[in-house]
Amino acid sequence: MSYVAIKGGGRAIAAAAAAAEYLRTAEGLLNTVAEPLAIDAILHQLRHLVDRVIAEGGVYHPQFAALAIKQSLGDTLEAAFVLRAWRSTRPRLAATPALDSSRMRLIRRISSAFKEIPGGQMLGPTPDYALRLLRLELMDESPEAFRAIARNWLQNYPEAQLPDTFPKVLDALRRESLLPPISPPHGATPFDITREPLVFPVPRSAVLATLARAETGSLLAIAYSNMRGYGDVHPTVAELRVGYLPVLLPHPVTGELTEVGEALITECEVVAMYEADNTSDKPTFTVGYGACFGHNEVKAISMAILDRALRKGMQNGPSNPSEDPEFVLLHVDGVDSMGFAAHYKMPHYVTFQSDMDRLRATQRKSEEPV
Amino acid sequence: MDVERKDWVRALTAHPVSRLNATADQLAAVCTVRLTRLPQAGLGLLSLIDGALHESYYLGEFPLSTCSVELAFPDGRQAEGGAQVMADDAELARSLAIFDAILAARLPGWEQVAELVTSGALQRGAENGRRRAMLAATRVDFALLSDADEDTDEY
């Protein structure tokens, strides 16, 4: 592969950017009270879009994710790219100790494994049971009606006597020896995918980190291939939880762990069918784990399925693409893959000229009498 | 005030940044602020224990600002303070570090900081209440169809 250096086009490139800005603001030509999208409006009213970008950008910065969405006109791949570009300019100041997600302040918690779980199931804010019909009344929603909805909800919300944290469903299964035992901590530092390239085989910490910032659609597609038949993971969601994880760092003076903020995350733990093996160990269910920044349940479930599939592939050799770490991990990153696809738009004049020359030579050769 | 030092940052950051910076500047005007760790904005790396096999990995990064200070008052009293906050705002970290020093050592102005912590903690408590309400309002008790009366709706 070779590229060609070009020059010129500066004015056209600047004009192209201006044309995109024209389209972003063209609403103002017809509507004299048109207003730019406020960052707060994006944060609140397009929250799942923001969540997707913070997860794929790999940085929990909702405000800048909203800004990236605004400047990229809603293109999630571009927005994640912009967010990663921003992060690349920032120094790394600290790393948290390994945080325990059971401390999350939950807004949603469900299980498809058990009807009753310790602490109870709570649907939280979800469209899971809504009809997928257009709500035409939102086409012309008045500001007054819009503001009244949250206000009314707050007036009627129940005073809840609930604990701050809830036990995990997997812990109950583990106590019954139905899950694989937990290995003692090995003390190894987790793999940092922002600093080290993936050289296979990679540790599980690299797998989880790569999947956590993967492009949602890519992750879903490969997980779906496994669910549909190119694999054998038919999981049960032991627990899916959405909530705010307190982010803890040592206090600069006392050293005591201090809450510096919180991050909304989605976490999914799945249980898959046990496998008989030739060891004398007691058979147990297999498990899979997924988590990502923001509220993104499909991504967390897909990640959990792929975690389970990839562990099987790493142990026994892959029997389908979704069990192959190289195939999965090198193709799920949105910024990587969109960059490769987009680069085909760049000038390839020399390489294509070469292709044409070779084709013509081959055609001439084929026309020569034998 | 019964908010522990480890929870001061969470409580204080419930307030607008402009108010925090203005209050810190006002309190710092009567003492000497020596920066023992320069205010800096950057990133933190979030390490999480996976819930399935209890192995740690990096979920991603977050904006982080840090600062440490030593305050010296004209009457000779001194105090050390520091703060790390999940924000891309070095000035905010400096303000929080000043508050930390003043409140920890009960230096002049500590009542003002304590009031900010207390009212911020109340705001955080209300926020937690709204989240719990979402849980409580949507608590579900699914019944198997075979176990349920035909004409009984469940909650």
A266: which strand partners? A242, A292
Is the confidence at residue B148, as pLDDT, over 60? Answer: no
Instruction: Report the C-alpha gap between B143 and A55 in whole angstroms.
Output: 35
Place of tokens 């304590």: B114
Buried b / exposed e across A168-204, counting CB within 10 Å, b at 16+? Answer: bbbebbbeeeebbeeeeeeeeebbbbbeeebeeebbb
ipTM of the complex: 0.94
Give how far Cα A298 sits from Cα of A55, A128, A143, A294, A303, Å.
12, 12, 32, 12, 8
| A292 touches A276 (CB < 8 A) | no
Instruction: Report the C-alpha gap between A102 and A163 in whole angstroms.
Output: 12
User: CB distance B139–A292 less than 8 Å?
Assistant: no
Residues 6+ apart with CB under 8 A from B85: A260, A261, B9, B13, B64, B65, B66, B92, B93, B96
pLDDT tens for chain A, 370 residues: list them: 556 777 888 999 999 999 999 999 999 999 999 999 999 999 999 999 999 999 999 999 999 999 999 999 999 999 999 999 999 999 999 999 999 999 999 999 999 999 899 999 999 999 999 999 999 999 999 999 999 999 999 888 777 788 878 999 999 999 999 998 887 777 789 999 999 999 999 999 999 999 999 999 999 999 999 999 999 888 999 999 999 999 999 999 999 999 999 999 999 999 998 766 556 578 889 999 999 999 999 999 999 999 999 999 999 999 999 999 999 999 999 999 999 999 999 888 888 999 999 999 999 999 998 7
- Amino acid found at A362: T
* Structure confidence at residue B121 (pLDDT): 98
Place of tokens 């579900």: B140
Rounded to the nearest 10 degrees, how much is the dihedral formed by the CA atoms of B118, B121, B123, B128? -160
Residues 6+ apart with CB under 8 A from A105: A164, A165, A243, A244, A245, A246, A262, B128, B131
**Domain boundary assignment for chain A:** 10-87, 101-332
- E-state strands within A66-177: 92-95, 99-100, 105-110, 121-122
User: CB distance B10–A259 less than 8 Å?
Assistant: yes
User: CB distance B44–A251 less than 8 Å?
Assistant: no
Using DSSP's 3-state secondary structure scheme, residue A316 falls into helix
Residues 108-147 of A with CB under 8 A from B: 108-109, 115-116, 120-125
* Structure confidence at residue B150 (pLDDT): 54
Instruction: Report the C-alpha gap between B82 and A252 in whole angstroms.
Output: 5
Is the dihedral angle over the CA atoms A155, A158, A161, A164 positive or is it negative? negative
Q: Cα-flanking dihedrals φ and ψ of residue A139, to 5°? A: -60, -30
Cis peptide leading into residue A201 (ω within 30°):
yes
Burial (0-12, 13-18, 19+ Cβ within 10 Å), B105? middle
Size of interface A-B (CB pairs under 8 A): 246
User: CB distance B87–A90 less than 8 Å?
Assistant: no
Residues of A in contact with B44 (CB under 8 A): 92-96, 247, 249, 260
Q: Is A92 on the interface with B (CB under 8 A)?
A: yes
| A303 touches A290 (CB < 8 A) | yes
Residue of A nearest to B82 (CA): A252
Segment B25-65, tens digit of pLDDT: 999 999 999 999 999 999 999 999 999 999 999 999 999 99
Instruction: Report the C-alpha gap between A57 and A293 in whole angstroms.
Output: 10
Residues 6+ apart with CB under 8 A from A253: B68, B80, B81, B82, B100, B104
Residue of A nearest to B40 (CA): A93
Q: How many CB atoms lie within 10 A of CB B146?
A: 5
